[in-house]
Amino acid sequence: MSLTNERAAVLADQHFAALAAGDAALAARCIHPAHVNHMAADEPPACTTPGVAGFLATSAWLRLAFSDLSFQIIELTADGDRTMAHVRMSGRQTGPFVVFPPGARPAVFAPTGRAFGVRQVHVFRHRAGRHGEHIAVRDDLSMMTQLGHLPPSPKVAWRMARTALTGYRARAVREAIRVSADAAAGVAAAVPSHRSLRAAPCHELARSPHLTMPVAPPACGEGWPGPGQVPGVAVEPGAAPLPR
């Protein structure tokens, strides 16, 4: 479906605003029920859910890691059934950034408190006047460098080791799975999706000076894996939070 540049710009504005804020009502205006996010391959499992549920799961995952999250559109063009947006993503890492490489152990990057700002290119395919498909080219190398996770150094190696030794790593993985699953399940009853979900309470996404997670994860919507189903994640009773 072809859109005018004006309509494409409105959709893109809504898309990035909803992503940064976790706004379900705004997301429903710009995200098609069958929306597929190809960038969700290394995000928590709930983020791969089609439609608004998966979109809000990605938002919750990002907001767990980054405060002051924003996307500024630098330029945008629409052609046929696609829109291409050149944007600047910025924020500050105040929580754990958890990446889920397919088939591998999740990687946890503890908060450094540093700010970042990187440019990205996002491509959207339209479907019935909304975004039906998404893929992007991101400058993750610059982002991780600005956040202090790269280049490799003794300080970076010690921070990574400490996340495992203190049990912070496993708790951060469980928390990323939980907040994304709660965000998806919280809208499942209100927003049609192509995947059946069992509704679960939608918890507030809260921050605290120390990441404290329960020994056993809360019940999630049907289909979400628990700690034992994600490679390298085990329940660690009595583990202490990571010092900030």
Pairing assessment for the beta strands 97-99 and 107-109 based on DSSP bridges? antiparallel
Instruction: Tally Cβ neighbours within 10 Å of residue 238.
Output: 6
DSSP state of 232: T
* pLDDT at position 243 over 80: no
Give residue-wise pLDDT tens across range 174-229.
999 999 999 999 985 555 444 433 333 333 333 333 343 332 333 333 333 444 44
Match 């189903």 to its residue by tokens.
229
Quote the CA–CA distance of 35 and 226 in Å, as a whole number: 25
pLDDT in tens, 119-145: 999 999 999 999 999 999 999 999 999
Q: What is the pLDDT of residue 95?
A: 98
Residue with tokens 């002051």: 68
pLDDT of 235 > 90? The answer is: no
CATH of 5-229 among 3.10.450.50, 3.40.50.970, 1.20.1050.10, 3.40.109.10: 3.10.450.50
**Using an 8 Å Cβ cutoff, are 94 and 113 in contact?**
yes
Cβ atoms within 10 A of the Cβ of 123, count? 14
Q: What is the token pair recorded at 121? A: 């290119």
Task: Kindly give, in sequence order, each residue whose CB lies less than 8 Å from that of residue 114, ignoring residues fewer than 6 positions away.
Answer: 92, 93, 146, 147, 148
For position 2, what pLDDT does the model report? Answer: 77
> Residue 34 class from Cβ within 10 Å (0-12 exposed, 13-18 middle, 19+ buried)?
middle
- Taking the C-alpha atoms of residue 151 and residue 21, their distance in angstroms, rounded to an integer, is 31
